[in-house]
Structure 1
Amino acid sequence: MTTLRSPFTPGDLPRVLVGRVPERTRLRDLLARVTAYGELAGPPVVLHAPRGLGKTSLLRDTEDRARELGFVTAWVACAKGSTMFPELASSVRRALIDAEVLDDRSTRRVLDSIAVEFGLFGISFSSEFGLAAGESAPPAAAISGLERLLHQAAHSVRERGGAGLLVLIDELHAAPYAELAILLNALQNLAGRRAENPLALMTAGLPSTPEMIMRAATFGERSEFISIERFDDDDSRRVLQEPATGLEVSWHPDALAAALAVADGNPYLLQLAGDATWQAAAPVAGDVLELADLQAGEDRMRGQMAAMCRARWDSASELEQSFLAAMADYAQEIVPREHIAHTMGRDTRSISVPRARLIDRGVIEAAGRGRLRFTLPGMAAWVRDHHGG
């Protein structure tokens, strides 16, 4: 019999999206508002979580649902050091052309002119997430240009029988601060004419993104913030079992329990454990993935996890590394802030800066008042093994 290809996709979109029922329901309901009433879905949606918890997968799932409902969708992935607006304008224009909405020359000329404007604005911003010297507010021309782009595009889709326009922005934390302020101001203005704008904006970013948004505009606090958490045990089992069952392969209970322990609810690590086990087993239909298969794939899993831990460690400053070492020194997953300060020989207030920076980059996360944990399961053990006292 032919060996089956692995259905698990570490580092890529999952073939089977499991769980996230409350989040998917909320996003579906917002799309339904646009579909039913032809109006703005509401404030921007902001999915926020450390890396590896499935924010992009959830955005892509929403994009697929939106297309089924008749939306035209435009996708933008922000990159550090790059501007967002030219790519946004280009993505909207491409989406309208692909959907054959831009069949009117005058409409196309309007969108083309706006896209050119975005390339000419020359918006400047500081490295400390502030407007450049001399700028006290986002440029009015940029705000009005973005309003025109989104309104014209959404209106054109609806006018031709579609539901509206869905704009999806991934890695929003990497967007220039000034552009984020312009985006929020433009959406706020469009909300004043809600019934004229069949539009939804859904985004994803690291845990620092909500704070960044609220600093960019005071009304940013009214955004729809949705925190993405680790999977519970039931959904973790489904992540491993459902793709295998679809190919007539099952998990032995011992192997399944061991994989769940390794991943600790992290969607990326669940995919990694599933794929490493599958590659070691090389199953055919009717086979069972055994504990020995998981153990045979451990070297691959350890190598990948070590590379991720090393990258996070190497990107940290000396003070941040001391902070991480103090966290790893604690014997349990949830680490009290007092222990970190004591181990570092500092008071709790003096460790606020490294704490905030590590949370911003998604290396650690809050786990209750005054408590922290690593976002990547297994990193504490890696730090102890490689940088312990």
Structure 2
Amino acid sequence: MQPSPYTPGAIASELPGRDHQLAEFDERLSLMADLRQFVGRPRIDIAPRGVGKTSMLAQVRRMAEQRGAVTVWVAGGGSGSLIADLVAQLEAATESWAPTTRRKLHDLASRASFKVGVGVPGVARAEAEIAAPHTAETSVPAGAGEFTAFLAEAAAATQREHRSGLVLFIDEIQDADQSGLSSFAHGWQNLQHLPGQGPAPAAVFAAGLPNSDSALRAAASFTERWDYQPLGLLSQYAAIAALVRPAQRLGVGWGPDVLQAAVEYAEGFPFTLQLLGDAAWRAAGRPDPGGQITLANAMTAQGVIATDLATLHRARWNAATPAEQTFLQAMADIGGSSVSRAEIASRLHVASRSLSEHRERLIVKGIIRVTGHGRLGFTINGFGDYLRSRAED
């Protein structure tokens, strides 16, 4: 018996079907690590939950560390202050650096207008107050200048410590506090205008829900020029690889007929593929090397994970308002993996433009996704079937 190699709900160790995206990340890391360039345009990968944003961001972090970079990871909505989290994590990542470098970073943090405890051996701990949100859209928020100075020194220090650069990772960026997002955006932007030779090698990679661009634009209008990349569902080939590769490493196979049924059932959703793989593995008795996942195992797995998916479907339905539920029911009744906004409006006997507010709220809630120009789909497979069944009951 072997433990399951599938990881539903956890960070995946490999990312089949994401080779193109990883190659783009590698190119940016090469600019920073090999050519010692400052990568000024942050990249934000956006997608609904369950598509693999965090797993991909974690893989890029491993790539950056393999290239000798200092990495800092934070998630929006943590302590309440994005800037405080970034500085605290950077302080933790530099514990082994020279005392003079850490003392200088400590002094810069102490003068800043964000609240963070900074500890340096032999130096007293210091705290400063969080900056109040700025009101004018074009004004620079309090604390941005201090944050720029702090980042500039940290990036420069990576060179003195013989590291290839500084890379910041921000997960769930849409949940970060607006004041922190504004200070971060302005602080990062200001790095590009430093006097002298310019900023040291550094880069920013982030991930968030489809409303991330709106959250960032509300914090600083110029962030509309940042690099937002939608992360789609897996192709048939990638879905097959997501099931086959983990099993192959343990000497276990999937039959072609089994794979076809499993891939059709999952519809390219990474979370569902991991659920299905894990349940099929257990249905096969946690096979030893030489074992096979059979069609019967896959059918059993579908029945097992139906409960998990039903719970998820029910939670998403309950998260919608009555008006939004009407919108969702119309999508389900139309059917298909992708429906047009015009079809929804026609079914509800309303003008297409009147759907905008419900559409945006459902996207922010992660219940629907954009599948093309003027087209929408659900963010988890089987949701349409669930709604049609619910309506019949």
Is the shorter-chain TM-score for this pair beyond 0.5, marking a shared fold? yes
Offset of residue 300 of structure 1: 2.4
Q: Does 1:33 align with 2:41?
A: no
1:268 is aligned to 271
AA aligned to 1:270 is L
Aligned with 1:7: secondary structure?
coil
Separation of aligned partners in 1, 2:313 and 2:299:
21
Distance 1:29 1:136, change over 3 A: closer
Q: How does 1:374-385 map to 2 (within 5 A)?
A: 374-385=378-389
Do the aligned partners of 2:83 and 2:183 also contact (CA within 8 Å) in 1? no
Separation of aligned partners in 2, 1:302 and 1:60:
29
Distance 1:387 1:218, change over 3 A: same
- Identical-residue share of aligned pairs (%): 32
Q: Does 1:109 align with 2:106?
A: yes
1:128 is aligned to none
More divergent stretch after superposition (298-307 vs 319-328): 298-307
Q: How does 1:68-147 map to 2 (within 5 A)?
A: 68-79=66-77, 82-97=80-95, 100-104=96-100, 106-110=103-107, 112-113=109-110, 117-119=114-116, 120-124=128-132, 135-136=136-137, 140-147=141-148
Separation of aligned partners in 2, 1:174 and 1:31:
26
Aligned with 2:115: secondary structure?
helix
1:21 is aligned to 19
1:57 is aligned to 55
1:367 is aligned to 371
Aligned with 2:273: secondary structure?
helix
Offset of residue 374 of structure 1: 0.7
More divergent stretch after superposition (209-218 vs 369-378): 209-218
The superposition leaves residues 273-322 of structure 1 with CA deviations (integer Å, 9 ceiling, x where unpaired) of: 11110011121110110010111122321111111111211111111111
Do the aligned partners of 1:230 and 1:266 also contact (CA within 8 Å) in 2? yes
| C-alpha RMSD of matched pairs (Å) | 2.0
Q: Does 1:210 align with 2:213?
A: yes
AA aligned to 1:73 is T
Do the aligned partners of 1:89 and 1:118 also contact (CA within 8 Å) in 2? no
Do the aligned partners of 1:327 and 1:380 also contact (CA within 8 Å) in 2? yes
Q: Does 1:329 align with 2:333?
A: yes
The superposition leaves residues 227-246 of structure 1 with CA deviations (integer Å, 9 ceiling, x where unpaired) of: 11111111111110011011
Offset of residue 80 of structure 1: 7.4
Offset of residue 29 of structure 1: 1.1
Q: Does 1:288 align with 2:292?
A: yes
Structure 2 residue aligned with 1:279, among 282, 285, 300? 282
Offset of residue 112 of structure 1: 4.8
Q: Does 1:253 align with 2:256?
A: yes
Do the aligned partners of 1:71 and 1:163 also contact (CA within 8 Å) in 2? yes
Separation of aligned partners in 1, 2:60 and 2:310:
32
AA aligned to 1:103 is P
Q: Extract unaligned runs of 5+ from structure 2.
A: 117-127
Separation of aligned partners in 2, 1:344 and 1:81:
43
Q: How does 1:114-193 map to 2 (within 5 A)?
A: 117-119=114-116, 120-124=128-132, 135-136=136-137, 140-193=141-194
Separation of aligned partners in 2, 1:51 and 1:269:
12
2:235 is aligned to 232
2:246 is aligned to 243
The superposition leaves residues 334-363 of structure 1 with CA deviations (integer Å, 9 ceiling, x where unpaired) of: 112122223323221111100011112221
Q: Extract unaligned runs of 5+ from structure 1.
A: 126-130
Do the aligned partners of 1:250 and 1:289 also contact (CA within 8 Å) in 2? yes
More divergent stretch after superposition (360-369 vs 281-290): 360-369
Separation of aligned partners in 2, 1:218 and 1:117:
22
Distance 1:308 1:111, change over 3 A: farther
Separation of aligned partners in 2, 1:368 and 1:55:
20
Aligned with 1:367: secondary structure?
strand
Separation of aligned partners in 1, 2:37 and 2:198:
4
Distance 1:385 1:259, change over 3 A: same
Separation of aligned partners in 1, 2:297 and 2:239:
19
More divergent stretch after superposition (48-57 vs 77-86): 77-86
